Chains A and B, each alone.
Chain A
Amino acid sequence: MREWIEKQKYIIDFTLSSLLRRKAKNIGLLALYTLIVFILASVMFFTHAIKKEASLILDQSPEMIVQKLVAGRQDLVPLRFVETVRGIRGVQAVRGRLWGYYFDPRFGANYTLLVPPPTAQTGAAGNGSRRVMVEGEPDRNAEGSAGPLFDLGADEIGVGSVVIGSGVARVREAGTGELMLFRAYDGEILPFRIKKILPSSSQLVSSDLILIDEADFKRLFGIADGLVTDLAVTVRNPTELSTIASKITRRLPDARPIIRDEILRTYDSIFNWRGGMMIVILSSAVLAFVIFAWDKASGLSAGERREIGILKAIGWESSDIILMKFWDGAVVSLTAFLSGVILAYGHVFFTDSVVFEPALKGWSTLYPRFKLIPFVSAEQVTTLFFLTVVPYSVATIVPAWRAATIDPDSAMRYTGE
């Protein structure tokens, strides 16, 4: 056993010195290999983490949303829908929600305006047809718990005031107590005093958010009383969701129920598509690397073949040569894999994916500046490992095996007769 360990040490030592002897070539290969792993791992980490983030947020959103359609377009929902939906067996609670988007031409930013309920408690109870509930992301320290994002009722905001997200404050360089001007649907300029800025810990949800009083919201967008943006529906038994959805469409033919799982699926495909698009764009780079690596790994130079001949002539077995080449491939590919994965982790979770941000996020005009939860699954890393390390290692062993079976007298033939 001791001899076996010593032998491995000698062979690894010789492999490392061989790699250093071809320094320029191997460093070039390592840099390129690391870059490819970095790109693949970045895309993989980013899409996975953002999907995870989106699903965590959506987990807290209503099980079903009901919209009203007019000529195939979303329209405001009359409050009579609330009673109709509540009358369906299995429906636990129905809440009307008021929210919308506001484009600020001066800053080129899109804000999400939302009317919070008078208090989170009242809203959650679902007993007021005109109450609005603000759903937030879950508390990350207590996974699975569904806490509201902010305990702030409309009563606390008050008419003439707004509470803004940190992204809005950043774009407008606005602080608490300052005035924000909005242009109403009829052209009138409405001033709102900034009452509070939301904490930046919940940026993915709240970055572009503005919380506003119900009366101000309706004044700003010219929404008549008795109308809401959509309905949030809670059911007693989630397995009955699709049955309840079909009952809603039967009773309200112009309504469109959207089940949360459908939204989750849409998110999944959007980010899979974005990630896939990135890979397709970068596929030429990946292909170039594969050709380069294959050439490097599968073809032995005349010098390397001669070296193998010498080693065999002085007493190395074919298995020793294959072992040496195995370590050669393993050292290069493992170093590149680990460096690439670590760099990608830093890139995605510490620098906010600075390189791929525009392609992967594709947000509205105002990019929410947020940090993703570092989420890496063993499955992802294993997939990446098998896609990068294994093919390279195999590509180095096959030609080494072929070369190792050459008669050792090739070392003598180098000069001899």
Chain B
Amino acid sequence: MIELVNVRKVFNAGRPAEFTALSGVNLSIESNKVTVLIGPSGSGKTTLLSIIGCMSRPTAGRVQLAGREITSLPERFLTDIRRKTFGFIFQQHNLIKGITALENVMLPAYPLGERHVPLKQRAMKLMEDLHLSDKAESKVEWLSGGEAQRVGIVRALINNPSTIIADEPTAHLDTQLSHRFLGIVKRFKEERKTVLITTHDPLVYDDPVIDRIIRLRDGRLEVERR
């Protein structure tokens, strides 16, 4: 369970360009469910996602992860939580160019100092699950959009996180690839992972795999649909 209590996020505080991205958000996200955040651009979806994923801190308010208050933790502990608890799937895939798909997949595990052989075996197994075995040694810039996204998904899974966070995952995918992505989300759900997705795409939020839809506008929660 992830719980947000009166979370505010203000960018450029005290400057002329001050901007409030989130204003007093209270929210509980259940474990083992697929939750979708929807709303127009600038509504605060990505900000909320980054606060939940321990990538940034709220200006005010508290975030609790499995009952533990994490807002005030030092950066090192936040990184540790981020690394072990969350797997991130980005809109632009955010793969590191110039290295292979396999190396990209293994990158999040490097700071943990795991032995190379088991790490590589696990990465290959995950790639195989998403039909990427033959692309393991390909440089990421040679991959198609769908392949690059699947590499991004495998990378998110390498440390076996309990929560998957996906930011606009279908923004650059066609309908067929979007359906394939939703198939992967279904597998996550079967594996009892918590999934949190931001999207504009009706194909995603209308899919039966989604358990809960949260609507954001101007940094506040709107009507909630289930």
Contact surface of A with B, Cβ cutoff 8 Å:
2-7, 9-11, 14, 17-18, 20-21, 307, 310-320, 407-409, 411-417
Instruction: List 11 additional A-B contacts (Cβ < 8 Å) besides A10-B111, A315-B159, A317-B111.
Output: A312-B55, A313-B82, A313-B88, A317-B75, A317-B79, A320-B111, A407-B56, A408-B56, A415-B91, A415-B92, A417-B43
- For this complex, 18 residue pairs linking A to B, each with C-beta atoms less than 8 Å apart, are A3-B113, A6-B115, A7-B111, A17-B98, A310-B96, A312-B55, A312-B79, A313-B88, A314-B83, A315-B111, A317-B75, A407-B55, A408-B50, A408-B56, A409-B50, A412-B90, A415-B90, A417-B43
Report whether A315 and B94 are in contact in the complex, using a CB–CB cutoff of 8 Å. Answer: no
Q: How far is the CA of A409 from the CA of B94 in the complex (A)?
A: 12
| A314 CB, min distance to chain B CBs, angstroms | 4
Across the interface, which residues of B come within 8 angstroms of A312, CB to CB? 55, 79
Quick one: which of A5, A315, A317, A408 has the most chain B CB within 10 A? A315
Across the two chains, which residue of chain A brings its CB closest to B91? A415
Q: From the candidates B55, B91, B92, B113, name the one contacting A6 in the complex (CB within 8 A).
A: B113
Flag the segment in B102-110, B143-151, B205-213 that touches A.
B102-110
Instruction: Let me know if B46 and A311 touch, CB within 8 A.
Output: no
Q: Is the CB of B94 within 8 A of A310?
A: yes
> Are B92 and A408 touching (Cβ within 8 A)?
no
The 10 residue pairs across chains A and B that have the minimum distance between CB atoms: A315-B83, A3-B113, A21-B98, A7-B113, A409-B50, A416-B46, A10-B110, A409-B55, A6-B113, A314-B108
Determine whether the beta carbon of B56 is less than 8 Å from that of A409: yes
CB contact under 8 A between A414 and B94, given known A21-B99, A408-B55:
yes
Question: Across the two chains, which residue of chain B brings its CB closest to A10?
Answer: B110
Contact present for A417 and B113 (CB under 8 Å): no
Please classify how large the interface on chain B is, using the bins under 10, 10 to 19, 20 to 34, 35 or more.
Answer: 35 or more
Measured CB to CB, the closest approach of chain A to B215, in angstroms, equals 15
Nearest residue (CB) in A for B42 is A417
- Set of chain B residues within 8 Å of A18, measured between Cβ atoms: 98
Per a CB cutoff under 8 Å, which of B45, B90, B115 touches A411? B90
Is A311's CB under 8 angstroms from B113's CB? no
Q: Mark B91-128, 1 if CB is under 8 A from A, else 0.
A: 11010111100010001101111111000000000000
Q: A315 near B79 (CB under 8 angstroms)?
A: yes
The CA of A412 and the CA of B75, in the complex, are separated in Å by: 18
A314 touches B107 (CB 8 A): yes
- B164 located at the interface, meaning its Cβ lies under 8 Å from any Cβ of chain A in the complex: no
A10 to B82, CA, bound (A): 20
Cβ contacts under 8 Å, B97 to chain A: 21
Name the one of A17, A21, A315 contacting B82, with C-beta atoms under 8 angstroms: A315
Q: Which residues of the other chain, A, contact B45 by a CB distance below 8 angstroms?
A: 417
In this assembly, does B72 line the interface, its C-beta being within 8 Å of a C-beta of chain A? Answer: no
Chain A contacts of B138 at CB under 8 A?
none
A308 to B49, CA, bound (A): 19
> Closest residue to A323 on the B side, CB-wise?
B111
- Known contacts: A3-B112, A6-B115, A316-B111. The answer to whether A411 contacts B94 by CB under 8 A is yes
- Residues on B with beta carbons closer than 8 Å to the beta carbon of A411: 55, 90, 94
Contact string, B72-85, partner A, CB cutoff 8 A, digits 1/0? 00011001001100
Q: Which residue of A lies closest to B116 (CB)?
A: A6
The B148-198 residues at the A interface (CB cut-off 8 A) are 155, 159, 167-168, 171
Instruction: Please judge, given known A-B contacts A414-B94, A416-B168, whether A316 and B113 are in contact too, CB under 8 Å.
Output: no
CB contact under 8 A between A412 and B107, given known A6-B113, A313-B88, A407-B56: no
Question: Distance in Å from the Cβ of B141 to the closest Cβ of chain A?
Answer: 11
**Nearest B residue to A9, CB-CB:** B116
Interface residue B41 (Cβ < 8 Å from any Cβ of A): yes
State which of B55, B98, B99, B115 has its C-beta within 8 Å of the C-beta of A412. Answer: B55
Q: Are A412 and B50 in contact (CB under 8 A)?
A: yes
Known contacts A6-B116, A313-B94, A315-B83; A412/B46 CB under 8 A? yes
Q: Which residues does chain B contribute within 8 Å of A416, judged by CB atoms?
A: 46, 91, 167-168
Which residue of A is nearest B171, CB measured?
Answer: A415
Report yes or no: B43 in contact with A17, Cβ–Cβ below 8 A: no
User: A21 to B141, alpha carbons, bound, how many Å?
Assistant: 12
In the complex, how many angstroms separate the beta carbon of A358 from the nearest chain B beta carbon? Answer: 46
Tell me which residues across on chain A come within 8 A of B41, comparing CB atoms: 417
Determine if B113 and A5 form an interchain contact, defined as CB atoms under 8 angstroms apart. yes
Residue of A4, A318, A412 most packed against chain B (CB within 10 A) = A412
B45-60 vs A: 1/0 string, CB under 8 Å? 1110110000110000
Q: Chain B nearest CB: distance from A242 CB in Å?
A: 68
Interface centre among B46, B94, B171 (most CB of A within 10 A): B94
Give the Cβ gap from A20 to chain B, nearest Cβ, in Å: 8
Which B residues are CB-close (under 8 A) to A10?
A: 110-111, 113
Report Cα–Cα, A313/B92, bound state, in Å.
Answer: 13
